Structure 1
Amino acid sequence: MNTYIYMIRHGESPKTEGNDSTRGLTEKGKVDANKVTELLKEEGLNIFISSPYRRAVLTIEELAHLSGKEVIIYEDLKELLFSNEDKIIPDQELYPAVQKMFSDRNFSLQGGESVTDCQKRSVVVLKEILTEFKGQKIALGTHGAVMTLMMGYFDSDYDYEFLMKTSKPDIFRLELKDEQLIEVRRIWTE
């Protein structure tokens, strides 16, 4: 029996308020979260899991509630930690650092984690999810880098170039048999 994981990258989020873990969605992000719900409401999703970051939860929360379910939070599904402070890093600083991190997988910013460390922590949780919810259809509220790293665990084609082609939000349906990736299909259309 195959398991389906719908990797749902969060919608657009303001980089002007709060900190990295608490920032919500912009108006466009909220509209797009409604589109995520519309796109997936007939998919038969029965488990809803998310990063603890507010923007990821908000992107799948309506879909979960429509299904009569709560969102289960997994701390180790949070985004790649860029620093030991929960601060917002401007894109002009962040993207060059992310590119370097993907090319030198053990590089990290001061106080942050490497992509190797992020992949290890997130894949441990992903394997737990695959075991606990085997044969289910799972919505997973996530972020760009950690999503790419989890997908990259199964197939190295999911790399920095892939990450840079994704959108906010984005949806990829992974079909897995145990821990073997069978197929990935992009569902989000802009």
Structure 2
Amino acid sequence: MTEVYFVRHAEPDLSIHEDFIRPLSNKGKKDAYNLVTFFNDKKIDAVLSSPFLRTIDTVRNIAFKFQVEIQTVDDFRERKIDGWIDDFNSYTKNQWLDFNYKLKSGESLKEVQCRNINALTKVLNEYNGQTIVIGTHGTALSTIINYYDHTYGYEDFIKIKNQMPLVVKMVFEDEKCISITTEVKGSVNK
């Protein structure tokens, strides 16, 4: 069995519009620090992350606790949108209604899902039988869940929209997902 803890990043500082370098807010930094307590009774073999700053900073203290280096995996990054979108809710709904919908130079949810599942498959083969943490994003994580549970859709995505950080545990036998459970929803209090 391989256990994967997907950790959706803590609250970002939305005043920074450049996705790749958007940091955590002060609340996000505190929540990321407190998230380590959730992992106290676990043995983590590896910590991987999207290359985006907010995901790396969310899992940084977990990696430090277990004395492992964070390995960035470019294909775990968030979807490319095509600039800043003011009506993000409408855009998101359109994407969930049509997995191929995208703006001119953005990514569709189907493309995001394929990219993330390909990366996850490589990770499952490399870390078979181990317990790993993967720093991720809400949309990327939602497309992964949807791949294994086709009933997961727009309404489920909306439910997690403001849950940061979010920890979802998936258990695999080789490449087959046998369970998906939500472990942490939002702030972690000490």
Kindly indicate whether residue 79 of structure 2 is the aligned counterpart of residue 80 of structure 1: yes
The alpha carbon displacement at 1:18 in A equals 5.5
Q: Which amino acid aligns with 2:99?
A: R
Structure 1 counterpart of 2:183 = 187
Structure 2 counterpart of 1:119 = 113
Q: Which amino acid aligns with 1:169?
A: P
Kindly indicate whether residue 58 of structure 2 is the aligned counterpart of residue 64 of structure 1: no
The alpha carbon displacement at 1:189 in A equals 4.2
Kindly indicate whether residue 28 of structure 2 is the aligned counterpart of residue 25 of structure 1: no
Structure 2 counterpart of 1:45 = 44
Q: Any conservation in 1 of the 2:8–2:135 contact (CA below 8 Å)?
A: yes
The alignment's C-alpha RMSD in Å is 1.3
Q: Any conservation in 2 of the 1:97–1:109 contact (CA below 8 Å)?
A: no
Structure 2 counterpart of 1:162 = 156
Q: Any conservation in 2 of the 1:41–1:63 contact (CA below 8 Å)?
A: no
Identity %: 27
Q: Any conservation in 2 of the 1:77–1:122 contact (CA below 8 Å)?
A: yes
Write out the 4+ residue segments of structure 1 that deviate beyond 4 Å after TM superposition: none
Return the alpha-carbon distance in structure 1 between the equivalents of residues 149 and 185 of structure 2.
23
Return the alpha-carbon distance in structure 1 between the equivalents of residues 72 and 100 of structure 2.
27
Structure 1 counterpart of 2:124 = 130
Q: Which amino acid aligns with 1:100?
A: N
1:46-73 alpha-carbon deviations (Å, 9 max, x no partner)? 1100000000010001110111111000
Structure 2 counterpart of 1:12 = 11
Where does structure 1 lack aligned partners over 5 or more consecutive residues? none
Q: Which amino acid aligns with 1:64?
A: A
Shifted more, 19-28 versus 160-169: the winner is 160-169
Specify the SS of the correspondent of 1:161: helix
Return the alpha-carbon distance in structure 1 between the equivalents of residues 132 and 30 of structure 2.
22
Shifted more, 149-158 versus 59-68: the winner is 149-158
Q: Which amino acid aligns with 1:180?
A: K
172, 175, 187: which one aligns with 1:176: 172
Q: Which amino acid aligns with 1:149?
A: T
Q: Any conservation in 2 of the 1:5–1:174 contact (CA below 8 Å)?
A: yes
